[in-house]
Amino acid sequence: MADKVRLSLDEVRSLAEVVLSRYGLSERHVEAVSDTIVAGERDECASHGIYRLLVCAHTIKAGKVALDAEPVVHDIAPALVKVDAQGGYAQLAFKLGKPVLAEKARRCGIAAMGLNNCVHFAALWPEVEELARDGLVAFAFTPSHAWVAPAGGKKPIFGTNPIAFGWPRPGEHPYVFDFATSAVARGEIELHRREGKPIPLGWGIDADGNPTTDAAAALEGAMLTFGGHKGSALSTMIELIAGPLIGDMTSAESIAYDGGAKASPHGGELIIAIDPARFLGSLAAEHLARAEALFEGIAGQGARLPSQRRYEARARTATEGVYVPRKLLEDIQALLD
Amino acid sequence: MADKVRLSLDEVRSLAEVVLSRYGLSERHVEAVSDTIVAGERDECASHGIYRLLVCAHTIKAGKVALDAEPVVHDIAPALVKVDAQGGYAQLAFKLGKPVLAEKARRCGIAAMGLNNCVHFAALWPEVEELARDGLVAFAFTPSHAWVAPAGGKKPIFGTNPIAFGWPRPGEHPYVFDFATSAVARGEIELHRREGKPIPLGWGIDADGNPTTDAAAALEGAMLTFGGHKGSALSTMIELIAGPLIGDMTSAESIAYDGGAKASPHGGELIIAIDPARFLGSLAAEHLARAEALFEGIAGQGARLPSQRRYEARARTATEGVYVPRKLLEDIQALLD
């Protein structure tokens, strides 16, 4: 473990807060962004933990994020809310819009929230998990930068376009998944590049459209979607519903806006919440219990629930802390020099 | 083409109507079910065309569908509607609920419809296409019978669990996809079995959990999801949101209810509709035009839009009619003996 350094979660938080404050983020943004970085380390999602401090610092230095943006909530329809993040990080916009979304979902049965004009680098699972802990079924979608080629094509046009889902489980952690519609998250390829490791075939193609195991070549060429034309269709859907549908950029527009700065994606996010109590009335508890039989049927045959590993990590890191690569920590500490 | 017979679309419709009437379906159901069978042939989706008449006849003979069910529409929340299909085919329930769903989506911005207690054999794309032609963004989900094993497991617990999506395109056919979260539709494996063809590896496993190319063995064992654990997560989501969330059966419950009759699945369906005009107001046309740039970016590099092949077939079969396997036609005509 000589190449790893142990940090408590409090130390992770302090590190995030110090770096983000030093780079000029307002206090409310420091808190909201640090929450997601701590959540990433806590759940051992290395690609969305303190590594992202390097990404934040770069994005801020490139002038691509509004440091003290105050998001504005617009109540636009009985079951729709939009939050204009005013060019700031998405986390604070979500935090301010979430109670409005939840209230609308409870009143109407289903509701949707569009986050607009925000800078995005975080995972979506903290958001759907939070809504599911409030008893709601939740979906989240966001485009990113045009890094991924459509099935049958060679040129990047989609983002890694994650889809996340949360389902409330009485007495248990929510059922949550969050996956990129690219074969892997871009952060995974970036970590391979940093560590000089080859990537498996199927993750990306080079600039000429040829399959490659070179992480740097795939980052310069195009990533591929998961699941062939089906993943490509889902990725298209996410471009549409978290782009034009909410009046925000596609991944191609986001990367054009970036203009080579290699900052975090700028654009929108769509979140949908459904209140099971409105669909089910007094039978909600009974039907949620039937969902538990499904989870038992999956886990009982040795198949993993997608959130399981994260929740196990969470239980462990609460007391043990986390082990982060020494080189990564040094790179982050150098941001403070 | 000696093994194929040419039928006009009118002849397809007549065939469907004669068979379904002979098997006792009420007039409203004959019309609604025939619509989807004609749509399947018209768009050259062989697995959802007249082949399904054999499936209907079997399901009716097994006593697993209410022949003259009159669906009941329940307006349960400002943005939610449920339609109790009363044990009949889903098509009529959708037809009766659709105007209520569309009205709610226009009023609230987003709305959801649960179809309950219905028998399901049709594709979902006709439904999302219809909503998209009305200017709405639409999603549809349904479980089926427990035929598909979760990633990392061996026992079937999921249905083929399709997800369908429709997006309105001004002056063009809607962008529509509809795919099973299994590696392929069960109908595809059934057609391979009927024709005595092997299936590719990755479609299914035998009853002992071993990979197989034998269509019959896969039908007796378990199908696999597309895209590994990501497809498995999506399939879980569909079980939940079109099962317990709307107070209806999971695929495991549906196959238990079937009790070995091998009839069509019984259960629910969830449809979500969003009105872009409510998200975008007077800017809707401008943003829908930006979506067109995305489609051009995909099709312009030679990648196929998922609905393209069906729309091309539709243009062709309107004048040329369709070519159906002679053996299939004979099997269907034998239903009338």
- The alpha carbon torsion through B8, B10, B16, B21 (nearest 10 deg) reads -150
Three-state secondary structure call for residue A181: coil
Q: Nearest residue of A to residue B165 by CA position?
A: A237
Would an 8 Å CB–CB cutoff place B175 in contact with chain A?
A: yes
B56 in any annotated domain: yes
pLDDT for residue A63 is more than 80 = yes
B189 located within any domain: no
What would the pLDDT profile of B218-252 be if each residue is shown by its tens digit? 999 999 999 999 999 999 999 999 999 999 999 99
Return the ∠ at Cα B74 (arms to B263 and B125), rounded to 5°. 50
Residue A258 has pLDDT above 90, yes or no: yes
Are residues A324 and A278 part of one domain? no
When pLDDT is cut at 50, 70 and 90, the band that residue A172 belongs to is: very high
Do B160 and B272 lie in one domain? The reply is yes
The CATH number for A38's domain is 1.10.1530.10
Same domain, B174 and B122: yes
Identify whether residues A160 and A12 lie together within a single domain: no
Domain assignment of residue B170, yes or no = yes
- A78 and A23 co-located in one domain: no
* A9-21 pLDDT tens trace: 999 999 999 999 9
Are residues A234 and A166 both part of a single domain? yes
Q: CA distances (Å), A336 to each of A46, A324, A326, B28, in order?
A: 21, 18, 16, 72
Strands (E), chain A: 4-7, 72-77, 80-84, 110-119, 137-141, 148-149, 162-167, 175-180, 204-205, 222-224, 266-274, 322-325
Nearest residue in chain A measured CA to CA from B169: A240
Q: What is the predicted pLDDT for the residue at A299?
A: 95
Mean pLDDT of A240-244: 98
Question: pLDDT band at residue A196, thresholds of 50, 70 and 90?
Answer: very high
Same domain, B159 and B238: yes
A330 and A246, same structural domain?
A: no
Q: pLDDT over 70 for what percent of chain A?
A: 100
Query: What rounded mean pLDDT belongs to chain B?
Result: 96
A38 shares its domain with A104? no
Q: What pLDDT score was predicted for residue A15?
A: 98
Interface of B with A in 253-292 (CB under 8 A): 253, 272, 274, 276, 278-281, 283, 287-288, 290-291
Hey, of B301, B304, B307, which one would you mutate to test binding to chain A, going by the most A CBs within 10 A of its CB?
A: B301
Kind plus residue range of the DSSP H or E element containing A203:
none
- The answer as to whether B187 is a domain residue is no
Q: Is A125 on the interface with B (CB under 8 A)?
A: no
B58 is known as an active-site residue: no
Pairwise CB contact (< 8 Å): B150 & A303:
yes
Residue B143 lies in a domain: yes
Does a structural domain hold residue B140?
Answer: yes
CA nearest B195: which of B328, B330, B323?
B328
Q: Which of residues 62-81 of A touch B (CB under 8 A)?
A: 76-80
Residues of B in contact with A80 (CB under 8 A): 108-110, 278-279
Is residue A210 in a domain?
Answer: no
Catalytic residue among B127, B130, B188, B269: B188
Measure CB to CB from residue A78 to each of B107, B246, B298 and give the nearest one: B107
Residues of A with CB below 8 A from B307's CB? none
**Hey, are the CB atoms on B77 and A109 less than 8 Å from each other?**
yes
Residues A8 and A141 both lie in one domain:
no
Which residues of chain B are within 8 Å of residue A200 when distances are taken between CB atoms? none
Across the interface, do B78 and A107 touch by the CB < 8 Å criterion?
yes
Are B170 and B241 part of one and the same domain? yes
- pLDDT reported for residue A47: 81
pLDDT band with cut points at 50, 70 and 90 for residue A187: confident
Contacts of B306 in chain A (CB under 8 A): 229, 233, 236
Cα A268 to the center of its chain, rounded Å: 12
Output the pLDDT for position A1. 56
Task: Say whether both B233 and B266 belong to one domain.
Answer: yes
Which domain covers residue A107, as residue numbers? 69-182+225-306
Query: Is there a contact between A152 and B252 if contact means CB atoms under 8 Å apart?
Result: no
Q: Can you state the angle between helices B51-61 and B27-42, rounded to 10 degrees?
A: 150
| B48 assigned to active site | yes
Has residue A214 been placed in a domain? no
What number is the average pLDDT over the span A35-55? 94
Which chain B residues are within 8 Å of A153, Cβ to Cβ? 298, 301-303
Coil, strand or helix: which one is B71? coil
Question: What's the total number of domains in chain A?
Answer: 2
Low-confidence ranges of chain B (pLDDT < 50): none
Per-residue confidence (pLDDT) for residue A226, from 0 to 100: 97
Active site residue B188: yes
Q: Which residue among A175, A233, A294 places its CB closest to the CB of B177?
A: A233
